[in-house]
Amino acid sequence: MNAEIVMIGTELLLGQIVDTNAAHIGRTLGENGISLYQKTTVGDNRQRIVRVLESALARADVIITSGGLGPTEDDLTREAVADVFGRKLEFRQELFDELVARFASVKRPITENNKKQATAPEGAEIIPNPNGTAPGIICGDSRGEVICLPGVPLELYAMLEESVLPYLRRRYGLKAGLYHRVLKVCGVGESWVDSRMGDLMARLENPTIGVLASPEWVRIRITARAESEDEARELLEPVEQAVRERLPGLVMGTGDDTLEGVVDGLLQQRGWTLAVAETFTGGMIAQRLTAAGARAFAGSTVFACSGTTGRGVDKRARDQAEAVRDQFHATCGLGIAAAPESRALAGEFVTPDGRHTWTSHYRDLDPLNQLRASTIFMERVRRVLAGVDTEHQDAKV
């Protein structure tokens, strides 16, 4: 089966509310082996909602909607679904009785407009809502089904998990799910990663490989459709091995691993500690190590990003690395220096085994480029500690 999502609400369309429900629905459907091809957002207009639903039914077996099930005049999902399937809205006494009891339990009077929440298209199946006053609706014909859920996240999440997924499994005989393995690569660009494994991505059908870039790392997501974790593991492991072979030593970690956590682990394995002196990165490396609870982090100093020419930036990085190592009595020192006039960057990593120097350039001094620079220099530290060849193409700041 395949599904589509229709998010209903003018506040979503205009960006007045961040749409977290669609992300949750999409992730949940994918994890349960349900193919999702499109998401549409539509405002609170009955005719437009009808057109969107009819269009989606021409492509998908199941449409899941969020929003528009409240008691107000602009809550129009029930009416639109009734129009789509050519059915009348009917009042259901049992739903109204449940509403009355719910309002009484919190000592609130029920209002006339709440009766709207006790209506549904003729023949529609009702989805109980244990956390709110808007029950869900399942309605369909030979084209497919529309499953309507409320827009309140707490209510939607529970109904999706407790009612909708079990219904879909029964209705469509779903067994397979999607299983993921995420590998993280730092210090190289998305296009560089793609160039090393584009042919592998093109020929695979199950598992599949996707590449997603961020300022901190490139995520390589390997996805397998399988009926069990054991079956998924058999599919995922040879593909992961093939990816690692094409990116020797460059996979920083997997899943929830962070670069700062991995660096800390490598330092601890050697019994080393690290002190950091920063200019361009403004203390961001120290902040990341601190947030990771790095036991090997000895301390840090932040200097102003000024007073250095392009030719002297590498010497300043070296001086800072040695000075901060002595200041905090650390085994290793990392110095990051910048030359604003030439926009040159330099990093010096001093260890008991020797010193390593890197140079680069930056475009602008802003938080995004500070994050990128902190990632690039920490990744270079990781490669030294892991004994990885550092001749790979590095991302620019």
Residues 287 and 378 occupy one common structural domain: yes
CATH of the domain at 36: 3.40.980.10
Q: Which of 149-163, 219-233, 252-266, 273-287 has the lowest mean pLDDT?
A: 219-233
Supply the range of the domain harboring residue 369.
259-386
Residue type, 275: A
Q: 91 in a domain, yes or no?
A: yes
Residues 20 and 166 occupy one common structural domain: yes
**Exposed/middle/buried for residue 86 (C-beta within 10 Å: 0-12, 13-18, 19+):** exposed
Mean pLDDT, the chain, whole residue set: 91
CA–CA distance, 348 with 375 (Å, rounded to integer):
15
> What is the token pair recorded at 94?
């049992």
Enter the DSSP assignment of 44.
S
Q: 394 in a domain, yes or no?
A: no
Q: Where are the beta strands (DSSP E) in 128-202?
A: 136-141, 144-149, 177-185
CATH of the domain at 239: 3.30.70.2860
pLDDT of residue 226: 86
DSSP output for 196-256: HHHHHHHH--SSEEEEEE-SS-EEEEEEEEESSHHHHHHHHHHHHHHHHHHSTTTEEEETT
Residues 75 and 112 occupy one common structural domain: yes
Residues 219 and 318 occupy one common structural domain: no
Residues 189 and 307 occupy one common structural domain: no
Would you say residue 339 has pLDDT above 90?
no
pLDDT of residue 306: 67
Query: According to the per-residue pLDDT averaged within each range, which of 251-255, 362-366, 388-392 is highest?
Result: 251-255
Of the residues 107, 137, 172, the one at which a domain ends: 172
Please calculate the CA angle 397-188-276 and round it to the nearest 5 degrees. Answer: 55
Q: 146 in a domain, yes or no?
A: yes
Average pLDDT score over residue span 85-113: 91
CA–CA distance, 100 with 290 (Å, rounded to integer):
53
Among positive and negative, which fits the CA dihedral 351, 353, 357, 358? negative
Pairing of strands 177-185, 251-254: antiparallel
Among positive and negative, which fits the CA dihedral 372, 373, 374, 376? positive
Residues 87 and 209 occupy one common structural domain: no
Best CA proximity match to 113, nearest among 123, 103, 105: 103
pLDDT of residue 284: 96
Best CA proximity match to 6, nearest among 50, 68, 52: 52
Q: Which residues face 126 on adjacent strands?
A: 137
In the chain, how many domains are there?
3
Would you say residue 86 has pLDDT above 90?
yes
Q: 122 in a domain, yes or no?
A: yes
Would you say residue 392 has pLDDT above 60?
no
Cβ neighbors of 354 (< 8 A, separation 6 or more) are none
Q: 329 in a domain, yes or no?
A: yes
**pLDDT band at 386, cuts 50/70/90?**
very high
Best CA proximity match to 328, nearest among 298, 295, 293: 298
pLDDT of residue 311: 63
Residues 148 and 209 occupy one common structural domain: no
Q: 392 in a domain, yes or no?
A: no
Residues 161 and 195 occupy one common structural domain: no
CA–CA distance, 203 with 13 (Å, rounded to integer):
38
Average pLDDT score over residue span 9-38: 91
Q: 395 in a domain, yes or no?
A: no
Residues 346 and 373 occupy one common structural domain: yes
pLDDT tens for 232-268 read 999 999 999 999 999 999 999 998 999 999 999 999 9
**pLDDT band at 308, cuts 50/70/90?**
low
**pLDDT band at 212, cuts 50/70/90?**
confident
pLDDT of residue 154: 92
Of the residues 138, 172, 206, the one at which a domain ends: 172
Residues 354 and 246 occupy one common structural domain: no
Average pLDDT score over residue span 215-228: 88
Which position has the token pair 């120097």?
357
Of the residues 222, 254, 286, the one at which a domain ends: 254
User: Is residue 319 classed as helix, strand or coil in its secondary structure?
Assistant: helix
Residues 49 and 118 occupy one common structural domain: yes
Is residue 238 reached through a cis peptide bond, with omega within 30 degrees of 0 on the bond before it?
no
Q: 334 in a domain, yes or no?
A: yes
User: Is residue 330 classed as helix, strand or coil in its secondary structure?
Assistant: coil
pLDDT of residue 179: 84
Contact 338, 345 (CB under 8 A): yes
Residues 108 and 129 occupy one common structural domain: yes
